[in-house]
Amino acid sequence: MRTYAAVDLGASSGRVMTGRVGQDVLELSEAHRFPNRPVRTPEGLRWDILALYAGVLEGLRAAGAVDSVGIDSWAVDFGLLDADGALLGNPVHYRDSRTEGVAQKVWATVPAAELYAATGLQYAPFNTLYQLAAARGTAQFAHARRLLLIPDLLTYWLTGEQGTELTNASTTQLLDPRTRAWSHDVAARLGIDLGLFAPLRRPGDPAGALRPEVLEQTGLHGPVPVTTVASHDTASAVAAVPAEGERFAYICTGTWSLAGLELDAPVLTEDSRAANFTNELGIDGTVRYLRNIMGLWLLQECLREWGEPDLGELLRQAAEVPALRSVVDAQDAAFLAPGRMPERIAAACRSTGQPVPATPAEVTRCVLDSLALAHRRALADAQRLTDRPVDVVHIVGGGTRNALLCQLTADACGLPVVAGPAEAAALGNVLVQARAHGLVGDRADMRRLLARTQPLTRYAPRGDAAAWRAAEDRLAAAVP
Ligand code: LFR
């Protein structure tokens, strides 16, 4: 039996989980959870990276003796280091407005179609590439000698060693998903110096050991190795989908919904680009072919506006609201920025000629119906674009605790849904560490272990397919 610490940082909280792995054993417990509170400074929206690092240290102390540590977080964001290796300012939040209008300028140099053919990444205003284009010309960027993605930055602070983890590197829009190496052509044409990036490392590679000061601060006894995991949280979560066989789709739910398929090779066609599917990399040479959907962010932002009412009660009321009265386009980047979410949802309903949801229960129902509809569209498009039919949808992540969302997704997709585990990213993190140390076998073995050990809930589709089709058509007509 071995014990691993999984540091898993999400948009609203970070956690350090301890995972115990053995023959037919996979147990996860929470050592420490801490808030992740981005701060709006005069310069814009920033991550409070020092608070996150302090939370990691506190979590490692709470976890106690472990055989190794792994770190995953959200993607695309980074810290810049100067020539001495010191951090230059707080990392910019991907929801910051600095990338507004930047993509169009980038496309004037490398057209969007060429970018997609080279990198396979869907358009999102916050892809690292656009963030770099926005940063160019700033004094901070002029002093930058190194760029470390968030999990790599924390790993550097813990170990003193620098690297660029592959699954997260695949979200920069500077990587070629076919060769799994940097796209030198794209970088050169956009004047991006790839020397900013530390050498690539792969999930399972060693990433150093906790520095003596870190051992002292956490009360741990060395050596404690740090292992490279699939450091993009979504890659870790997909690694922890408890699927049997290959005919499955997944939806990683949380702040985002990431809905798609696991493939052996990227799909770089024009149709795929038009449908805004991304080809991010997963473990073992897999491709995470998926679409970003706004996810429970829509609801989280409403809850914030309403003063954090009781979610359980709100969901009970939302279940009583008539289905599919109004739906919004949950893929729309118009919902990306924080603030005034109930108002923005009402405006979207009004401008598409639908009834405007009035009460929190009605708005909640509108959000959940809209998410389920977006899940349906994403999975239908993914199957069409890859010619890979699926029999079951696996929902993993925090949204598995939202039974109404899981049921509506089963209804909308017309497919059985298997929900769980909720802490998929942390489990994927633990399993990749365990595998690096020879405790579990291949990907299929990892998934069998998950299916045998984790509680899963099944939802059968309820037969109202025509209503979902009609809502889909209604939305498509209103939002081309
Ligand atoms: C989910 C996630 C998504 C990524 C978004 C921004 O936590 O990592 O996969 O598109 O956050 O980084």
- Say if residue 62's pLDDT is above 90: yes
Q: Check which CATH number belongs to the domain holding 404 and give it.
A: 3.30.420.40
Q: Indicate if ligand 1 lies below 6 Å from the C-beta of 233.
A: yes
The predicted-structure confidence for 173-228, as pLDDT tens digits, reads as follows 999 999 999 999 999 999 999 999 999 999 999 999 999 999 999 999 989 999 99
Same domain membership, residue 77 and residue 205: yes
Domain boundary among 177, 196, 231: 231
Cα(244) to centroid of ligand 1, in Å? 25
Q: Quick one: pLDDT band at residue 478, thresholds 50, 70, 90?
A: confident
Kindly state whether residue 432 falls inside one of the protein's structural domains. no
Residues 338 and 363 occupy one common structural domain? yes
Ligand 1 center to 419 CA (angstroms): 20
Does residue 222 sit in the same domain as residue 275?
Answer: no
Q: Is residue 60 one of the residues assigned to a domain?
A: yes
Instruction: Say if the ipTM goes beyond 0.85.
Output: yes
Indicate the DSSP class of residue 197: B
> Cα 431 vs. chain centroid, distance in angstroms?
18
Is the minimum distance from the CB of 256 to ligand 1 under 6 angstroms?
A: yes
Q: Which of 176, 233, 381, 411 is catalytic?
A: 233
Picking from 169, 200, 231, the residue at the C-terminal end of a domain is 231
Q: Do 182 and 213 have their domain in common?
A: yes
* Residue from 72, 126, 171, 336 to probe ligand 1 pocket by mutation (most atoms less than 8 Å from CB): 171
| Same domain membership, residue 249 and residue 314 | yes
Ligand 1 neighbour 280 (Cβ under 6 A): no
Q: Are 363 and 327 within 8 A, CB to CB?
A: no
Same domain, 65 and 127: yes
Q: What integer pLDDT is reported at residue 264 of this predicted model? A: 97
The conformation of residue 87, written as its DSSP 8-state character, comes to B
The verdict on whether 442 is a catalytic residue reads no
Give me the domain span that covers residue 71.
Answer: 2-231
Task: Using the mean position of ligand 1's atoms as its centre, give its distance from the Cα of residue 447 in Å.
Answer: 22
Mark whether 248 and 369 lie in a shared domain: yes
Is the per-residue pLDDT at 462 higher than 70?
A: yes
Domain count of the fold of the chain: 2
The pTM of this model reads 0.98
Instruction: Report the share of the chain in percent with pLDDT over 70.
Output: 100
- Regarding whether 276 and 208 lie in a shared domain, the answer is no
Instruction: Based on the fold, state whether residues 220 and 240 are members of the same structural domain.
Output: no
The answer to whether position 426 is within a domain reads no
Residue owning the nearest CA to atom 7 of ligand 1: 74
Instruction: Report pLDDT digits (tens) over 350-367.
Output: 999 999 999 999 999 999
The rounded Å distance from CA 168 to ligand 1 centre is 10
Q: How confident is the model at residue 92 (pLDDT cuts 50, 70, 90)?
A: very high
pLDDT at 480 over 80: no
| Residue 332, domain member (yes or no) | yes
Q: Is the domain of 210 the same as that of 314?
A: no
Evaluate: CB of 94 within 6 angstroms of ligand 1.
yes
* Residue 176, domain member (yes or no): yes
- Look at residue 410 and tell me if it is in a domain: yes
68 and 193 fall within a common domain: yes
Q: Which of 197, 231, 265 is the last residue of a domain?
A: 231
DSSP 334-363: GG-S-S-HHHHHHHHHHHTT-PPP-SHHHH
Cα–Cα–Cα angle for 26, 253, 125, rounded to 5 degrees: 130
In this structure, are strands 181-182 and 200-201 parallel, antiparallel, or unpaired? unpaired
Same domain as 379, residue 239: yes
- The pair of structure tokens assigned to 441 is 């076998």
pLDDT per residue as tens digits for the range 272-328: 999 999 999 999 999 999 999 999 999 999 999 999 999 999 999 999 999 999 999
Whether residue 443 is contained in a domain is answered as no
CA distances to 78, 101, 172, 331, 406 from 131, in Å: 10, 11, 9, 20, 34
